[in-house]
Amino acid sequence: MISFNYENNFKLPNEHRVSSWISDVIQSEGCIEDEVNYVFCDDAYLYKLNVEFLNHDTLTDIISFDYSVGKTLQGDVFISTERVSENASDFDVAFEDELHRVMVHGILHYCGYKDKSESEAKLMREKENHYLGLIK
C-alpha cells in the first residue's frame, strides 16, 4: 500500500494516479509492494532527520528509510517540497516532474539500485527517465 502524509502545506494532486504509477514501477521491477509511506515536509523537517539519523549536516531533497525484506518493499520516504521546488528551478523543469523523479528515485533504491558510483548513477537516471515516461 502506498500512502501519502503531509508535514507541511503541500498536498499531492492526483494521489490515486501517483500511487498506481508507483505500484506499477514496483511490479515492473519484480518486487512486491508492502507498505510505502511518502512524507512531504519542508527543509527544516528533513534537515533535522538528516542530522539526527544520518549525521549529515546538509539540506537534501529526499531521505528514505528502507525496511524492505528481500523483494518485499516497505519503508518511509521523506521529501522536502522546498528542496524539490528549488531543484526544479535550478534544472529548469516543472515542479511536478522533479517531484515524480524524486519519488521514483526512492522506490528504485528500495528495488536495489544504488547511485554511489558513476555507472550506478547512470543506470539510476536511465531507470528514472524510463518510469517518468510512464506516469499518466
Annotated binding-site residue numbers for Zn(2+): 105, 109, 115
Report d(CA 79, CA 104) in Å as an integer.
11
Radius of gyration of the chain from its Cα atoms, rounded to whole angstroms: 14
As a whole number of angstroms, the longest Cα–Cα distance in the chain is 37
**Residue positions forming the annotated binding site:** 105, 109, 115
Question: Strands of 32-41's sheet, edge to edge?
Answer: 2-6, 32-41, 72-80, 62-66
